[in-house]
């Protein structure tokens, strides 16, 4: 496959700015949660597949571009108040980090999966919020912890998973990325760390906007105990998958 | 012993799960599960301590792969006992204290999880295990501080804590990456052995690996232990529930001292970093103490008091007194935990009657007006300087004769001497009906404290670092050369004596009544009351960054 067109195509699926608009617009256009989750899982895998068919490692300037894209979207996520858009921005930011790690291309698919899994689960949780409250936006001042405590707990865990909290899979992907890049490309390792801290900051802002503050308990707003347990099991599975990914990468 | 350490870590996890599962059925009684779980953990920790005393030697337990490792060594055993003990007390206290609060079961679940994570942290035998636990402490503290979910300000300050902790996590990730790259293992014991065998190993840019890794680990320790410039989270997190404040001040903020001890084999190869640690600790100790005195809010003052103590603990590490730092963090943890847990009752009683007799002691301590009787002051000055020195030297001479050969020990002795002198000087300035009795009591207390401190610190040294050669190497690494040391000692003595003289003559000649001195004092006090504007600067930077992100999003739209 010709190298430059291959990279251009890969830049669509492991989105680099400005091609990232395709993914962001596409994700926003999808109405069903499961479709969004599926896209979050499959989209980067297509990019990995394309990248694996390119000849040689991506040129240095492309790595710089990818690092800047990761930083740009992590920074933009700080000011995002809508959970769905925030997940999209974090996804672009996360997948862009994969560009700088061509040496272990045989594990790239697992790394991409590790980054996508928490995003896919989070999008399912925000879908529940959107159905019950019309939107998952901080401007609604939901005070979820009072309005719907079970949903609030799941939302907090989902956000924590997205911002690469141990023992979710993206934590291990980031640690592995820093471990490989710090000795050879310290600037790239520092970029990963900067992106990581920006995610944590933006995630905490979202949690504060959605969960904290006064709210009125409303009948039917919260999940049923059975549904909450189903999601809890999903998160336990996600943590288990995280440890497995950690075992493979570290 | 392997099963025991695993049980100690797993028991709080199990009690967290059971507390959550049975909270609907048991209501407020669910706290008992949590308390039983913690009691078992504490009993297990005591048993582990006894077994370690009976069968010395380090052991590791692999939970899978190279990175899931638990380590049983004197440090982890002592820390497990401290963590589980303090956590049990906090659990017992919270059972009634939190009874009227919403989210009762959630609170105990989080408390159990925090205990499990802290125990994992102190027993971590692999870098990844340590990273996981280190990171999770910040996350769980964020959730505990945000227990009052209706309060957005609680979340705001909880976020400050989490953000500072996250900033502190990052250097440790880098340190782990560089150590792993050099020795191809995540196991701490293997890394330490390899580093001891190849101390000249280099890393980025040909820099010594030990120095770079030690500096990064030190940065992580600074953020966790609220060292100056990373301290702003500590005084502002007092809005959280009192048991959380107690746990935070007794068992979390002092993790920096633990971390430096855990990486002691790296720090012995990095003397320069130890000197830097000393300077940071010194600045923090001074800044924390001064800021504490300028606060009107009692809880904030307690926060700054902890900051000052943490500065001193880090300073102890900087002079090579690693085991003393562990003793300090335990003593401070128990002391500060007691203060926090007792604060509610004290405030409640003080609202009815402060019970403070308006005598000379009150005017001296509260109104800061010393009694004006200072004869014979020359004799008192001599006693002030001589008595603490004699007690300190004798205590150390009896416990460990070679102590004086270590520079770090001399620094601590010097500090003890100055503190003791200050104490006796203060006594002299107080008026009392029976001055001899008062003076004798203070002298006896000082002697008991010094001898006790020396004995316990020496025992800690022997237990935590049984190898005398390694102990000597730690002090050796922290040394700065005899001439530099002597010059510094003379300089510091000069500064302190000059300070005393300025205070004395200033008071005698009413220097403080002059306008320019008054203006200077007011400006100084304002700066201190505003906490040196550090929080303001951080707040402004944060707002600028957020405004920039908003502008960017407005410009780029859906891109």
Ordered per-residue pLDDT tens for chain A, 250 residues: 557 888 889 999 999 999 999 999 999 999 899 999 999 999 999 999 998 888 777 888 999 999 999 999 999 999 999 999 999 999 999 999 999 875 566 789 999 999 999 999 999 999 999 888 888 888 777 888 888 999 999 999 999 999 999 999 999 999 999 999 998 889 999 999 999 999 999 999 999 999 988 877 676 678 898 999 999 999 999 999 999 999 888 8
Task: Please give the residue of chain B at the shortest CA–CA distance from A76.
Answer: B549
Spatial contact of B290 and B215, defined as CB atoms under 8 Å apart:
no
Task: Please give the residue of chain B at the shortest CA–CA distance from A204.
Answer: B159
A79–chain B nearest CA distance, Å: 5
Q: Which residues of A touch B145 (CB under 8 A)?
A: none
Query: CA triplet A210, A214, A218: central angle to 5 degrees?
Result: 85
Task: Please give the residue of chain B at the shortest CA–CA distance from A189.
Answer: B174
User: Residue B534: phi, psi to the nearest 5?
Assistant: -65, -50
A134 touches chain B (CB under 8 A): no
Mutate to test the interface with A, among B24, B152, B157, B176 (most CBs of A within 10 A): B152
pLDDT digits (tens, 9 = 90+) for B426-453: 666 655 566 677 777 777 777 777 777 7
Q: Which residues of A touch B128 (CB under 8 A)?
A: 175, 246, 250
Nearest Cα to Cα of residue A103 among A184, A1, A45, A169: A184
Spatial contact of A28 and A88, defined as CB atoms under 8 Å apart:
yes
CA–CA dist B476, B542 (Å, integer):
42
Surface-to-core class of residue A231, CB atoms within 10 Å of its CB (0-12 exposed, 13-18 middle, 19+ buried): buried
Token pair of B236 as six digits: 């502002």
CA–CA dist B244, B404 (Å, integer):
41
Query: CA triplet B141, B143, B147: central angle to 5 degrees?
Result: 115
Residues with Cβ < 8 Å from B252, sequence gap 6 or more? B118, B137, B141, B224
Query: What is the pLDDT at residue B378?
Result: 65
- Taking an 8 Å cut-off on Cβ atoms, the answer to whether A182 and B204 are in contact is yes
Which of B211-225, B450-464, B493-507 has the largest mean confidence?
A: B211-225
Q: Which residues of A touch B156 (CB under 8 A)?
A: 208
Q: Which residue has the tokens 């600790």?
A: B281
A189 touches chain B (CB under 8 A): yes
**Three-state DSSP class for A129?**
helix
Query: What is the pLDDT at residue A6?
Result: 87
- Positive or negative CA dihedral for A8, A10, A12, A18? negative
- Taking an 8 Å cut-off on Cβ atoms, the answer to whether B552 and A204 are in contact is no
- Taking an 8 Å cut-off on Cβ atoms, the answer to whether A152 and B149 are in contact is yes
Work out the mean pLDDT of chain B and round it to a whole number. Answer: 85
Residues 30 to 49 of A: which have CB under 8 A from any B CB?
Answer: none
Residues with Cβ < 8 Å from B247, sequence gap 6 or more? B86, B87, B90, B111, B114, B144, B337
Q: Which residues of A touch B163 (CB under 8 A)?
A: 197, 200-201, 204
Q: What is the 3-state secondary structure (H, E, C) of B414-483?
A: HHHHHHHHHHHHHHHHCCCCCHHHHHHHHHHHHHHHHHHHHHHHHHHHHHHCCCHHHHHHHHHHHCCCHH
Mutate to test the interface with A, among B166, B179, B239 (most CBs of A within 10 A): B166
**What value does the mean pLDDT take over residues B524-543?**
89
- Taking an 8 Å cut-off on Cβ atoms, the answer to whether A24 and B180 are in contact is no
Nearest Cα to Cα of residue B311 among B231, B191, B390, B198: B231
- Taking an 8 Å cut-off on Cβ atoms, the answer to whether A79 and B135 are in contact is no
H/E run at residue B271: helix B271-293
Residues with Cβ < 8 Å from B72, sequence gap 6 or more? B1, B2, B5, B48, B52, B58, B59, B60, B61, B123
Spatial contact of B188 and B126, defined as CB atoms under 8 Å apart:
yes
Q: Identify the band that residue B375 occupies on the pLDDT scale cut at 50, 70 and 90.
A: low
Q: Is the pLDDT of residue B24 over 60?
A: yes
Spatial contact of B2 and B59, defined as CB atoms under 8 Å apart:
yes
Surface-to-core class of residue B468, CB atoms within 10 Å of its CB (0-12 exposed, 13-18 middle, 19+ buried): exposed
- Taking an 8 Å cut-off on Cβ atoms, the answer to whether A208 and B178 are in contact is no
Task: Please give the residue of chain B at the shortest CA–CA distance from A18.
Answer: B559
A171 touches chain B (CB under 8 A): yes
Residues with Cβ < 8 Å from B96, sequence gap 6 or more? none
- Taking an 8 Å cut-off on Cβ atoms, the answer to whether A76 and B553 are in contact is yes
CA–CA dist B284, B314 (Å, integer):
9
ipTM of this complex: 0.94
Query: What is the pLDDT at residue B377?
Result: 61
Q: Considering CB atoms only, which of B549, B558, B559 is closest to A75?
A: B549
Inter-chain CB pairs, A–B, below 8 Å: 125
Domain boundaries, chain A: 3-249
Query: What is the pLDDT at residue B354?
Result: 64
Q: Is the pLDDT of residue B398 over 80?
A: no
Token pair of A134 as six digits: 């019309």
Spatial contact of B173 and B130, defined as CB atoms under 8 Å apart:
no
Residues 211 to 240 of A: which have CB under 8 A from any B CB?
Answer: 211-215, 225
CA–CA dist B496, B414 (Å, integer):
11
By percentage, how much of chain B surpasses pLDDT 90? 44
Query: What is the pLDDT at residue B433?
Result: 61
**Three-state DSSP class for A58?**
coil
Counted residue by residue, chain B has a size of: 559
A22 touches chain B (CB under 8 A): no
CA–CA dist B425, A244 (Å, integer):
63
CA–CA dist B35, B93 (Å, integer):
10
């Amino acid at each position: 496959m010709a190298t430059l067109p291959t990279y251009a195509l890969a830049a669509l699926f492991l989105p680099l700015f400005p091609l990232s608009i395709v993914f962001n617009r596409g994700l926003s256009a999808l109405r069903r949660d499961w479709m969004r989750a599926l896209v979050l899982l499959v989209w980067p895998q297509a990019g990995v597949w394309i990248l694996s068919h390119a000849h040689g490692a991506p040129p240095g300037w492309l790595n710089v571009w990818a690092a800047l894209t990761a930083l740009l979207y992590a920074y933009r996520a700080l000011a995002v108040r809508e959970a769905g858009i925030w997940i999209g921005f974090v996804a672009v930011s996360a997948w862009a980090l994969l560009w700088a790690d061509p040496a272990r291309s045989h594990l790239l698919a697992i790394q991409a999966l590790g980054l996508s899994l928490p995003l896919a689960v989070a999008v399912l949780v925000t879908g529940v919020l959107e159905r019950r409250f019309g939107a998952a936006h901080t401007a609604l001042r939901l005070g979820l912890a009072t309005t719907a405590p079970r949903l609030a707990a799941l939302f907090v865990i989902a956000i924590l998973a997205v911002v690469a909290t141990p023992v979710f899979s993206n934590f291990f992907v980031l640690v592995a990325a820093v471990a490989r890049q710090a000795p050879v490309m310290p600037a790239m390792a520092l970029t990963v760390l900067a992106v990581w801290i920006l995610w944590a900051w933006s995630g905490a802002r979202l949690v504060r906007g959605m969960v904290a503050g006064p709210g009125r308990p409303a009948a039917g707003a919260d999940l049923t105990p059975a549904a909450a347990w189903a999601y809890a099991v999903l998160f336990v599975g996600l943590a288990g998958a995280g440890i497995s990914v950690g075992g493979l990468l570290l | 012993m392997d099963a025991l350490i695993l049980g100690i870590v797993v028991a709080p996890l199990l009690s967290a799960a059971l507390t959550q599962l049975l909270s609907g059925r048991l209501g407020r009684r669910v706290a008992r599960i949590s308390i039983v779980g913690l009691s078992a953990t504490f009993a297990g920790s005591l048993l582990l301590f006894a077994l370690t005393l009976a069968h010395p030697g380090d052991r590791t337990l692999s939970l899978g792969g190279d990175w899931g490792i638990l380590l049983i060594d004197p440090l982890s055993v002592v820390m497990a006992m401290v963590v589980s003990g303090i956590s049990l007390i906090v659990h017992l206290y919270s059972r009634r204290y939190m009874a009227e609060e919403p989210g009762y079961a959630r609170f105990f679940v989080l408390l159990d999880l925090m205990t499990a994570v802290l125990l994992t942290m102190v027993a971590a035998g692999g870098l990844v295990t340590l990273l996981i636990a280190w990171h999770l402490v910040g996350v769980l503290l964020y959730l505990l501080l945000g227990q009052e979910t209706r309060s957005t300000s609680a979340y705001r300050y909880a976020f400050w804590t989490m953000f500072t902790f996250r900033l502190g996590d990052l250097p440790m990730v880098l340190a782990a990456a560089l150590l792993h790259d050099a020795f191809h293992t995540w196991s701490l014991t293997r890394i330490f052995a390899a580093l001891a065998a190849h101390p000249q190993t280099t890393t980025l840019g040909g820099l010594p690996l030990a120095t770079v890794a030690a500096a990064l680990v030190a940065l992580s320790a600074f953020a966790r232990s609220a060292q100056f410039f990373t301290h702003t989270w500590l005084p502002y997190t007092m809005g959280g529930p009192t048991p959380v404040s107690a746990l935070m001040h007794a068992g979390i903020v002092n993790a920096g001292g633990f971390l430096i001890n855990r990486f002691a084999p790296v720090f012995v190869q990095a003397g320069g970093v130890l000197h830097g640690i000393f300077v940071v600790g010194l600045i923090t100790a001074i800044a924390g103490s001064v800021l504490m005195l300028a606060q009107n809010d009692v809880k904030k003052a307690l926060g700054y008091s902890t900051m000052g103590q943490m500065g001193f603990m880090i300073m102890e590490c900087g002079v090579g007194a690693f085991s003393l730092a562990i003793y300090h963090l335990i003593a401070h943890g128990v002391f500060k935990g007691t203060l926090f847990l007792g604060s509610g009752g004290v405030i409640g009683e003080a609202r009815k009657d402060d019970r403070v007799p308006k005598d000379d002691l009150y005017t001296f301590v509260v109104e800061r007006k010393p009694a004006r009787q200072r004869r014979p002051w020359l004799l008192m000055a001599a006693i002030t300087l001589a008595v603490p020195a004699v007690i300190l030297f004798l205590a150390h001479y009896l416990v460990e004769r070679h102590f004086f050969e270590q520079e770090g020990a001399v620094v601590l002795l010097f500090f003890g001497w100055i503190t003791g002198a200050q104490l006796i000087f203060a006594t002299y300035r107080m008026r009392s009906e029976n001055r001899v009795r008062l003076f004798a009591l203070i002298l006896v207390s000082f002697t008991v404290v010094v001898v006790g401190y020396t004995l316990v610190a020496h025992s800690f040294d022997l237990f935590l670092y049984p190898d005398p050669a390694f102990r000597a190497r730690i002090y050796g690494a922290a040394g700065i050369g005899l001439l530099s040391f002597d010059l510094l000692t003379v300089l510091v003595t000069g500064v302190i004596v000059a300070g005393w003289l300025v205070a004395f003559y200033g008071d005698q000649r009413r220097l403080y009544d002059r306008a320019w001195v008054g203006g200077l004092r007011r400006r100084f006090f304002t700066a201190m009351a505003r906490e040196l504007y550090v929080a303001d600067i951080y707040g402004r930077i944060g707002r600028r960054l957020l405004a920039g992100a908003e502008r960017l999003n407005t410009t780029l739209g859906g891109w």
